[in-house]
Amino acid sequence: MIAKEMISEIIPALKTSDTGITALNWMDVFKVSHLPIVNDKEFLGLISEIDIFDMNMPEEPLGNHQLSLLRPYVIEGQHVFEIMEVASKLKLSIIPVLDVQKNYLGVITTMELLQHFTEFSALRSPGGIIVIELNSNDFSMSQISQIVEGNDAKILSSYISSHPDSTKLELTLKLNVIDLTSIIQTFNRYNYTIRGSFMKYDDEEDLLDERYDLLMRYLNI
């Protein structure tokens, strides 16, 4: 998924003739703390709530003030992971999108970015999550996939995070099954360290009910 596919259809751009009061009102309406200032198709920068509160006369046009505007942006063809990195690093509520000629196209809100990332990473798909800690030298995705698939499951998505000042990695797996018991047991047999496993509460309740019914049927034989 790339930037131009996630541009918001509702967030407006400010003009230099708009006032700080107008900007604050729009920020309140659209639940963001930044808005872009655009001159025709030229992206001038982002203005924040703090910038406006620092103005002596916010009822005057923005163009009357000396503003030190941030100019973060992504290009229309950049990947969702790169966009998330920009938003996270700069603590932005919106991320401007420009075309390859640096013309302004629109913005992506962090809320929409999160929703798109959720769809992209299969987080809405039913299934469980396993978090594994391992040494970077021991990391083998092929072996991990074999363990999962050997238990009749599939990896829907995976994420790796590293520990500061350590050779340890943390691998998070989203799987397409809810009952993780046999998979965890297999990982343990291969001496993997399981840091945690997670199921949705309702799914976990359904699993427990299913196991109880199987037990009762077995006892009635």
Q: Which of 157, 150, 152, 149 is nearest to 130 (CA)?
A: 157
Q: Which of 29-33, 52-56, 132-136 has the highest mean pLDDT?
A: 29-33
The continuous run of DSSP H or E covering 141 comes out as helix 141-149
Q: Global pTM?
A: 0.66
Q: Could you tell me the CATH superfamily of domain 3-118?
A: CBS-domain (3.10.580.10)
Q: Give the three-class secondary structure for 64.
A: helix
Which pLDDT band holds residue 124 (cuts at 50, 70, 90)?
A: low
Long-range contacts of 208-212 (CB under 8 A, 24+ apart): none
- Per-residue pLDDT at 82: 86
Sheet (strand 129-135) strand order: 155-162, 168-175, 129-135, 193-198
Q: Strands, DSSP E only, in 15-59?
A: 34-39, 42-48
**Cα-only R_g, the chain:** 24
As a whole number of angstroms, the distance between CA 125 and CA 115 comes to 13
Per residue in 192-219, pLDDT (tens digit) is 999 988 875 454 455 555 555 555 554 5
Helix H segments across the chain?
A: 20-30, 49-53, 80-90, 110-120, 141-149, 181-189, 201-220
Q: What is the mean pLDDT of the chain?
A: 84
pLDDT at 151: 95
CB count in 10 Å sphere of residue 81: 11
* Chain centroid offset of residue 143 CA: 27
**Domain ranges within the chain, ordered by starting residue:** 3-118, 129-199
Q: What are phi and psi of 34, to 5 degrees?
A: -140, 155
Q: What is the second-level CATH architecture of the domain 129-199? A: 2-Layer Sandwich (3.30)
Q: Looking at 65-79, 120-134, 149-163, which range is the least confident one? A: 120-134
Confidence at 121, pLDDT banded by 50, 70, 90: low
